[in-house]
Structure 1
Amino acid sequence: MEILSRILRGIHQQSQVSYHPKCGKLGLNHLIFVDDLMLFVKGDTPSVQAITSSLDSFALLSGLHANLEKPNIYMAGIRDNIKQEILTVTVYTEGLFPFRYLGVPLNAGKLNKTMFTDLIAKVQKVLNHWSTYKLSYAGKEKNTHSESWRSILLVRDELLNMGGNGPAAERLLSGCVKKGCIQLSLLYDKFRRKGNPISWGATVWHRAVLPKHSVFLMLVMQQKLATIDKLNHRGISLVNRCVLCKADNETHKHLFFQCIFSTAIWHQVLHWLRMQHRTSKLSKEVHWIAGKKVRKHWKAQWFSSCLGATVYSLWEERNLKIFQGLEHDIDYVVKRIQYFVSIRLLSVNSPSKEGEIIGSLNA
């Protein structure tokens, strides 16, 4: 979807393509929610043709095609002859205003109260249910002493425990006030249980790392993967042999990065980044990368992004060999890692840096 957004934003560089009259100041021509896509464009044939061409280009790149039975096109304030031209270009069915999306009415003109009748009724039904759901047993009989009031009393008791007495609790709360208002973030920080800080958090959750890579890298750092040695420990009898190098037992420590196969891949990735570095175990690699991130230049994002993509791709390659019998060489895996990193770096940096990033990645 990031690539689709980039393609759609780029069509307005063409002189004949215009924004929807209400979206020009925002620079908005599309919204994506889950698997729904809403496109906004001026009601003329060239602009609509540019949108449909962009969807066709994305389909060629990704293999994802729109279901022609579902899309509707909604038009307002357009002459009939232009409307017919647009319908011919898009081959979509014309929708009629008003219509509902996620329960909210949408219309070309002003919305009136009657359009929200169903939505208001649903909200009132939920609120009426909540009014009794949160009451204690005694409260349901007498309509008093709700669970909400009990929660407030628990917070009071917690404050007294932390402060020792009333004035101390007031001083504790006063530290959470800014400009006359209680800051919930500060209040939460006072009450939450604080553990020891983790050294790898900033590297794992760096914005340059794909979200799925960050989650997976967190599992690796916590040694939560179902490696063969762990499965054996749980009583599942399997031959403990690393399928990537076939030379040692499969453990977290071995896969990242004591395995010959994984070490070779990480070396090639570092060579791509033009870095000379002696590979060590994963925890030391994370510590090394954390030191590189002191710089605020976008090139510092490479290291976290590459580590996340490498660890994810190694586990993916391991699963392909075990469950599907597929085997790829080192060059294939490295190219896949380069693809993940390139896409992510282009998506998190400003369009003005695209040329610099692409040039550096291809150098």
Structure 2
Amino acid sequence: MEYLSRLLEKVTDLKEFSYHPLCKKLKMTHLIFADYLLLFCKGDIKSVTILMEVFKVFSATTGLHISEEKSYIYLNGITCDVVDSILRVTGFKRGTLPFKYLGVSISHKKLTRTYCAILVDKMVARIRGWNKRKISYSGRLVLVKAVLSTIHTYWSQLFVLPAGVMDRIQALCRNFSWEGGDSYSKAPLVAWNVLCKGKEYGGLGLVDSRLWNLAAIGKLVCSWAWRKVCAVKDSFKEALADGLWQSSHDAYTIAKGYQWLCRSNEQKVSWRIMVWNRYNYPKHMFIAWLIQKGRLLTLDRLAKMGICLAGACFLCGVSPETHQHLFSECVYTKKCFSILKSWLEIDNQGLGTGEIILRNRKLPLLIRLLKCAVVMALYYHIWMACNSCRLDFYIPRPEQMIDGIREGLKLRLNMVFEGQMQQQLVVWCRMKRLV
């Protein structure tokens, strides 16, 4: 292909050849990537004929020929007679814009929602291919992070995508996160911008598609060739010094750009270590996060939404069902904590129990984290017991629940340590019947 490039450079010296009007300043005649080839010239018979002569010389020298079935010519702004003459000279079929080049739609017009519809269609097809009934909240979050949030990343590194497209992409991610489908008719439990915050700031660390698009284009901002033409440069003015990213020794990456755009003056939440503890199961983390946000659908919240009347707690039938009551003051919860106290010396300190455990410097950090994992598991099972009573009229015994938590923690320890625990932890686990 280097030989073809040299031939095309030589024909530009001919008086009969004319550049495409938009390529004249750059003196560009072609683009090559792998087996993709784009040629540009003015829409006249002479220029097109010269390009076809170049192909004849190239074919005679190398033995490579044009595949006319896969080749198209795109014409605009010329008369029908000239179009017919050019089609006869080339033997190519006439194509229509937009066309795809390296997986991206190419058009002479501004990028619109119509051109980007393929991104939305891919996401909808993915979502509809998943069985939402068999995927938990935490499972959906994994799919949003690993699959849905990556579908648009290639295009996001090339274009500033239309606002309508980004809104639709974020709506699909939000709808799947909460409902498991591509549509959602209810108000989400937590706002999308909160979910996109880092876990240390009370979010779930999901990707904000708009900011990621700007961060990806920001890579071009720090490139000398595109520094003055990138529309998103204004978003990085504070981070750029003389066109360099923060300092001359710090290279720009999309991850750094995204983190800079997401920067916040907010304080880190005190419960982040307790909730995002590696010894917690993902489903326990998610419910614990909703508890800390106060967003579980307890009866008091359902009453505020006008869905039902405020009522007594399903587990004790005495006090109104609130977050504070359900996970701290309920008789059922107190019975569970009394068993925990005899097993792991964990006292019921309300919703701040986990934070109090972490502040107890007398215990090694690893044991404090394990105790927090037990508390988060208890919160999860209490919520499940509440729903079980509400829907199936069944409440598991506290002893049965704690036994289930113990067995679950044993499995989690085996998964995390793969049978290679520290001696100090082994001794503690034997004392607490966890091995």
The TM-score with structure 2 as length reference comes to 0.45
Counterpart of 2:109?
Answer: 137
The within-5 A match list for 1:49-198 is: 128=101, 130-132=103-105, 137-138=109-110, 148=158, 150=160, 151=217, 152=220, 153-160=230-237, 162-163=238-239, 166-167=241-242, 170=244, 172-174=246-248, 177=250, 181-182=251-252, 184-194=254-264, 195-198=266-269
Q: Calculate percent identity across the aligned residue pairs.
A: 19
**More displaced, 236-245 or 250-259?**
236-245
Counterpart of 1:46?
Answer: none
**Structure 2: how far apart are the matches of 1:317 and 1:296?**
32
The answer (yes or no) to whether the contact 2:284–2:376 under 8 Å persists in 1 is yes
Q: How large is the Cα RMSD of the aligned pairs?
A: 3.1
Q: Name which of 350, 355, 364 aligns with 1:281.
A: 350
Matching residue's letter, 1:341 = L
**Structure 2: how far apart are the matches of 1:204 and 1:328?**
24
Structure 1 residue 220 displacement after superposition = 0.7
Structure 1 residue 188 displacement after superposition = 3.1
Q: Name which of 289, 296, 321 aligns with 2:389.
A: 321
- Structure 1's consecutive aligned runs of 4 or more residues displaced over 6 angstroms after TM superposition are none
- Matched residue of 1:323: which SS? helix
Matching residue's letter, 2:401 = V
Counterpart of 1:217?
Answer: 288
Question: For the pair shown, which has the larger CA radius of gyration, 1 or 2?
Answer: 2
**Structure 2: how far apart are the matches of 1:344 and 1:331?**
20
Structure 1 residue 338 displacement after superposition = 1.5
**Structure 2: how far apart are the matches of 1:136 and 1:218?**
48
2:322 is aligned with 1:244: no
Structure 1 residue 261 displacement after superposition = 0.9
Structure 1 residue 312 displacement after superposition = 0.3
Which string of whole-angstrom CA distances, capped at 9 and with x for unpartnered residues, describes residues 201-226 of structure 1? Answer: 11100101111100110011101111
**Structure 2: how far apart are the matches of 1:206 and 1:301?**
7
Structure 1 residue 182 displacement after superposition = 3.8
- Matched residue of 2:279: which SS? coil
Counterpart of 1:340?
Answer: 408
2:333 is aligned with 1:262: yes
Structure 1 residue 305 displacement after superposition = 1.0
Which string of whole-angstrom CA distances, capped at 9 and with x for unpartnered residues, describes residues 206-253 of structure 1? Answer: 101111100110011101111011111111233511011111000011
The answer (yes or no) to whether the contact 1:173–1:187 under 8 Å persists in 2 is no
The 1:171/1:331 distance shift into structure 2, 3 A limit, reads: closer
The within-5 A match list for 1:221-240 is: 221-238=292-309, 240=311
The 1:290/1:314 distance shift into structure 2, 3 A limit, reads: same
**Structure 1: how far apart are the matches of 2:337 and 2:108?**
58
The answer (yes or no) to whether the contact 2:337–2:346 under 8 Å persists in 1 is no
**Structure 2: how far apart are the matches of 1:340 and 1:182?**
43
Which string of whole-angstrom CA distances, capped at 9 and with x for unpartnered residues, describes residues 54-91 of structure 1? Answer: xxxxxxxxxxxxxxxxxxxxxxxxxxxxxxxxxxxxxx
Structure 1 residue 276 displacement after superposition = 5.7
The 1:296/1:156 distance shift into structure 2, 3 A limit, reads: farther
The TM-score with structure 1 as length reference comes to 0.54
Q: Which runs of 5+ in 2 are unaligned?
A: 1-98, 113-154, 161-216, 221-229
- Matched residue of 2:329: which SS? coil
Structure 1 residue 280 displacement after superposition = 2.4
**Structure 1: how far apart are the matches of 2:325 and 2:400?**
21
Aligned pairs, number: 222
Larger RCO, structures 1/2 (Cα 8 Å, 6+ apart): 1
Which string of whole-angstrom CA distances, capped at 9 and with x for unpartnered residues, describes residues 25-46 of structure 1? Answer: xxxxxxxxxxxxxxxxxxxxxx
The 1:243/1:154 distance shift into structure 2, 3 A limit, reads: same
- Matched residue of 2:104: which SS? helix
> Which structure is higher in helix share?
1
The 1:183/1:131 distance shift into structure 2, 3 A limit, reads: closer
The 1:127/1:212 distance shift into structure 2, 3 A limit, reads: farther
The answer (yes or no) to whether the contact 2:388–2:394 under 8 Å persists in 1 is yes
**Structure 1: how far apart are the matches of 2:231 and 2:338?**
55
The within-5 A match list for 1:293-308 is: 298-308=366-376
Structure 1 residue 302 displacement after superposition = 1.6
The answer (yes or no) to whether the contact 2:275–2:288 under 8 Å persists in 1 is yes
**Structure 1: how far apart are the matches of 2:234 and 2:362?**
43
Q: Which runs of 5+ in 1 are unaligned?
A: 1-125, 141-145
